[in-house]
């Protein structure tokens, strides 16, 4: 379902938006709608990536230890 949205901009911005829309063979309304959709899509993609990264951090990473954990003291033990 689509609904209208009213936006208030200064006259010069509207003039430039009309020129840009004409250059792209579209309407100012379509320019604004496309940009809002892009921003929302970017925000959603960021949140998905963030959730995926946090899930990976929770699972942890095996850096070649094959699951064998060594204490800090053992790592820094001097011979």
Q: What is the pLDDT of residues 32-43, one digit of tens each?
A: 999 999 999 999
Q: For residue 2, is it within any domain?
A: no
What's this model's pTM, rounded to 2 decimal places? 0.69
With respect to residue 29, please indicate whether it lies within any of the assigned structural domains: yes
Extract the tokens encoding 6. Answer: 């009213």
Residue 58 resides in a domain? yes
Distance CA 28, CA 31 (A): 5
In a domain, 1, yes or no: no
Q: Considering the domain boundaries, does residue 37 fall inside one? A: yes
- Give the pLDDT score at 79: 63
Number of H helices, E strands in the chain: 3, 0
On whether residue 6 sits in a domain, the answer given is no
Residue appearing with tokens 């938006």: 17
Q: Which band of pLDDT confidence, cut at 50, 70 and 90, is reported for residue 48?
A: very high
Please indicate, yes or no, if residue 64 is contained in any of the structural domains.
yes
Confidence (pLDDT) at 68: 83
Report the number of distinct structural domains present in the chain: 1
The per-residue pLDDT for 27 is 97
Which among 31, 2, 33 is positioned nearest to 14, based on CA atoms?
31
Q: Is the per-residue pLDDT at 66 higher than 90?
A: no
Domain that holds residue 25: 11-75
């Amino acid at each position: 379902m689509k609904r209208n949205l009213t936006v208030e901009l200064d006259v010069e911005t509207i003039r430039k938006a009309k020129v840009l829309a004409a250059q792209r063979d579209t309407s100012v309304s379509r320019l604004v709608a496309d940009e809002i959709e892009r921003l929302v899509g970017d925000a959603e993609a960021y949140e998905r990536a963030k959730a995926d990264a946090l899930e990976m951090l929770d699972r942890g990473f095996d850096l070649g230890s094959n699951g064998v954990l060594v204490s800090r003291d053992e790592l820094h033990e001097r011979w």
